[in-house]
Amino acid sequence: MPQLDPSTFGSQLFWLAVSFVTLYVVLSVLVLPRIGATMAKRSEQLDGDLAEAEALRAKAEAALEAYEEALAQARTKALVVAQTMRAEVQAETARQKAELDAKLAEEAAAADSRLAATREAALAGLRDAAKDIVGEVMLSIGVDQADDKSVEAALDAASGR
Amino acid sequence: MAGKTTNAEGGAGIDPMHQFEVHALFDLPTIAGIDTSFTNSSLWMVIAVSLITVFMTAASRGTSLVPGRMQLMGELAYSFVANMIKENIGTEGMRFFPFIFSLFMFILFCNMLGMLPYSFTVTSHLIVTFALAATVFILVTLVGFARHGIGFLKLFVPSGIPVVLLPLLVVIELISYLTRPVSLSVRLFGNMMAGHTMLKIFGGFVVGLGSAGLIPLAIAPFALMVAFTGLELLIAGLQAYVFTILTCIYLNEAIHMDH
């Protein structure tokens, strides 16, 4: 078994030490730090990107929230404006109606009073005419001069006053 | 070792152990009593280290956010080992990341390169796997004493045990701790050597039966060889993983002492 030949041990150990130490130095000084740095940079970048995405998402959500709030505010404002407008219109309508009512009532009252005056005048005219007719009739039947007072009394009695 | 080429390519035709022989490609002077000859074993260690360096350098060249092919493979290897450490030791284990990563890649590449025909499997030699395991053992012990001082010895004293049994259990714990480098190295070495020996033996059957004109009979060992090659590739990866994860478990014990 060549493995048990001690004469080869020295050279194998020497070259093992040389090659392994060389490998260790090359890897630990040149290669591994670079790979480690690249991988660390990558995970850093990924973490950074994820954090940025998270921040952007939060920002978008905040914007959405603000938009919804503004929308709700606008809706409330619109409602208030509509109510105010309705109230104003109603008040105006009521005022105009009241005005019109008053005017109509006034006109009706005026018409009433005119009517009453006319009726009064007509009645007065009628009474005068009746008095004249009575005077004429009495004259024609020979009563020369009837006294006004009795005629008036008679007329009053006739007209039911 | 220089000039030592006792080749056993003898009467049996194919020697399954021949593939494990270490022979010098060119001799280098002995430095401070250490034979530094450049052997086939050294060659494949250097090839493994070069390939890992080329692969990982190419993988680390790309620093883009969306990785390319090479970059992705490098990052997969990186996060595979990093996750292994985080799951078994925790984030403080990342201090040992370069060492554990180098260990994993070195064993994985040596195992995999050993699957190439005419290559040499560095990890099929006990002295190499033992050196790696001993490095891990020394590191674990140093880390344990550095973190807990003399209290690290409590690792060998299980809690909630009758006092009568304690001496026995302490001895058992101590032995199991001290044999760790042996089990760690023999596991890897044994798997690698056994698999390659078996492949070689089956290969010998195929060649032997084929050259004897019994080609229909050679089909069975050939099919087995194909299947075992797949299995060996799996084992090559698995043993690199097992060695690394045991290193993580030992380190975790030294750091947290939750026995």
Rounded average pLDDT over B56-62: 84
Write down the pLDDT at residue A3.
79
- DSSP assigned state of B39: E
Tokens of B113: 């390169």
Q: Is B126 on the interface with A (CB under 8 A)?
A: yes
pTM for the model: 0.73
Rounded average pLDDT over B32-61: 87
Please report which confidence band the pLDDT of residue B156 belongs to, taking 50, 70 and 90 as the band edges: confident
Q: Is the pLDDT of residue B8 over 50?
A: no
Residues 6+ apart with CB under 8 A from B162: none
- State pLDDT tens for residues B79-117: 999 999 999 988 888 899 999 999 999 999 999 998 888
**Which residue in B has a C-alpha nearest to residue A17's C-alpha?**
B131
Q: For chain A, how big is the Rg over CA atoms in Å?
A: 63
Q: What per-residue string of b and e applies to B105-142 under the rule 16 or more CB within 10 Å gives b?
A: bbbbbbbbbbbeeebbbbbbbbbbbbbbbebbbebbbe
Tokens of A31: 């290669």
Residues of chain A neighbouring B63 (CB-CB closer than 8 A): 34, 37-38, 41
β-strand partners of B26: B38
Rounded to two decimals, the ipTM of the complex is 0.85
Rounded average pLDDT over B1-27: 59
Write down the pLDDT at residue B110.
93
Lowest pLDDT segment from A125-134, B49-58, B119-128: A125-134
Which of B225, B240, B245 lies closest to B122, judged by CA? B240
Three-state secondary structure of B165-177: CHHHHHHHHHHHH
Q: Is the pLDDT of residue B152 over 50?
A: yes
Other Cβ atoms less than 10 A from the Cβ of B11: the count is 6
Please report which confidence band the pLDDT of residue B189 belongs to, taking 50, 70 and 90 as the band edges: very high
How is chain A split into domains, by residue range? 21-159
Write down the pLDDT at residue B206.
84
Helix (H, G, I), strand (E, B) or coil at B36: coil
Question: Residue B163 belongs to what H/E stretch?
Answer: none
Residues 37-66 of B with CB under 8 A from A: 37-39, 41-42, 45-46, 48-49, 52-53, 56-57, 59-60, 62-63, 65
Tokens of B196: 């390659």
Helix (H, G, I), strand (E, B) or coil at B156: helix
- Tell me the nearest-neighbour CA distance from B97 into chain A, angstroms: 9
Write down the pLDDT at residue B16.
74
Residues 6+ apart with CB under 8 A from B70: B55, B58, B59, B61, B62
Write down the pLDDT at residue A129.
84
Best to test chain B binding among A1, A4, A7, A9 (most B CBs inside 10 Å): A9
Burial of B146 (0-12, 13-18, 19+ CB in 10 A): exposed
Residues 6+ apart with CB under 8 A from B230: none
- Greatest alpha-carbon span in chain B: 71
**Which residue in B has a C-alpha nearest to residue A22's C-alpha?**
B49
Residues of chain B neighbouring A27 (CB-CB closer than 8 A): 52-53, 56, 98, 101-102, 105
Q: What percent of chain B has pLDDT over 90?
A: 44
Q: What is the mean pLDDT of each run of 10 residues along chain A (161 residues)?
A: 79 89 92 88 90 95 95 95 95 95 94 91 84 80 70 74 55
Interface of A with B (CB under 8 A): 1-5, 7-17, 19-20, 22-24, 26-28, 30-32, 34-39, 41-42, 45
Q: Looking at the partner chain, which of A7, A20, A35 has a beta carbon nearest the beta carbon of B106?
A: A20
